[in-house]
Amino acid sequence: MGGFFSRMTLARRFAIGMGAIFLPIVLVVVVAVGIIRPTVIGTVDEILQNGPPLRESIVDLERSVLRAVFSLNEQYTTGTATFQRTLAISRNRVDEKFAHLISRIDGYSDEQELLLAAQKAWQEAWSQGTVLLGSSLSERQGESGAALVNVNDQFLRAVSLLEALEDSYSRITYNRLLQAGKLGEMAPMFLLGAITLALLMTALTGFAFARSILLPISALHQGAQRIGKGDLTSHVTIDSDDELGQLADAFNTMAHELKKAQKELLDQSMRDELTEVKNYRGFLHCLNEELNRWSRYGDPFALILLDLDHFKTVNDTYGHPAGDEALRKVAETIRLSLRQSDCVARYGGEEFAIIVSRTDATGALALAERIRNDIAAVSVETAGATFGISASIGLSSVSEACCTEQQIVSAADRALYEAKRMGRNRVCQT
């Protein structure tokens, strides 16, 4: 019977269940029409009409906040007029959606408090972001990025509060449906003296109806709890074509979009905006992964530290835009020399770090020489001038005596220092 119900809408399955009770006796019809239908169906219909749209408004607001964050990050790193317009539009949309949602959620004190806290976090983050955007693009490129990370964290706090609001509203909907179910279960008490058949049909129909609603709601509730704890891989499966099945599909879509947005933010936090390779944070992440792989499986790897020779002179002579172009060309040259399993990162300033996966010292040395030669062949064109660059390279390999993050980086750094001491434009290894 549960499978039979799951193919119907909530209102239709309830009507069929009530019809089974109405048939045995006229008294059942009179009491059911006068007491049960106005209360239970009214509650369920109200939830069906108001619940999903309000939840969709919350999810839409979350997405709008995330889009605004992306626009602010792009404006911070590029400073283009296009993103300025996009930023203004994004902010206005978020403010309008906050105002609309606040007017709709009136009457739920705890939920309104969460929404107001999310609005406050959004406004504070936006104010901080506006201050950051007041600096010039060159000033932003010289900063460490910590201020932008703090602003992004504040935005993510607003998103987390909206997720908590969505979870809270899901619990309210769940409790109201439970109350509606309890009213339906209490109805047979008024008909206790009718006939045994009516009571039996009431029990059977009520059980199937409650099961067809409470099990999907329980699955949605558990999924919302898992997402609330940070598990964005949470997926809810409901074998139903009704409104609860549609709600489960929307829930899964929301979880997927949140996971996608989280991944994009994580990728941005570990990528250097100028060169499009990983930044220092991304380098540490790759290095720790390689150290863990070596510790578990014994897979060898090597670390290459590369420093562009006399780069300050390049900036002083040709200007910082030319220096930036040189960094981009070097990054692209290195990237073309590596495999997909290898990792290149801008270590800082004019330094790059390369992690060569599953390669011993001999193979890494050959790769380092090839990269050095490729960089020496790079030609950078500026307004009225063309110049070349060279690089000094230090190399270290993982071993029993050099198997921690500090040890392997220090070893490569010593080799890099030796390459500079010996006249630059060469490769040294420890």
Residues designated as active site: 350
Among residues 268, 58, 20, 68, which one has the least CA distance to residue 166? Answer: 58
Q: How far apart are alpha carbons 34 and 47 in whole angstroms? A: 21
Query: Which of 189-195's residues contact partners 24+ apart within 8 Å by CB, and which partners?
Result: 190/31, 190/35, 191/21, 191/27, 191/28, 191/31, 194/24, 194/25, 194/27, 194/28, 195/24, 195/25
Question: What is the side-by-side order of every strand in the sheet holding 351-357?
Answer: 343-348, 351-357, 301-308, 391-397, 427-429
Helix (H) or strand (E) holding 59: helix 42-78
Beta bridge partners of 386: 381
Neighbours of 381 (CB within 10 A): 11
Paired residues of 354 in beta bridges? 304, 344
Q: In whole angstroms, give the CA distance from residue 223 to residue 252.
A: 9
Strand partners, 351: 307, 348
Strands annotated E in 141-199: none
Sheet strands (E) in 179-242: none
Is residue 278 within 8 Å of residue 344, measured between CB atoms? yes
Q: Which helix (H) or strand (E) holds 306?
A: strand 301-308
**Which residue carries 């409650």 as its tokens?**
210
CB under 8 Å, gap of 24 or more: what pairs does 397-404 form? Answer: 397/300, 397/301, 397/302, 397/303, 397/360, 397/361, 397/364, 397/429, 398/290, 398/291, 398/294, 398/300, 398/301, 398/302, 398/303, 402/430, 403/291, 403/294, 403/295, 404/291
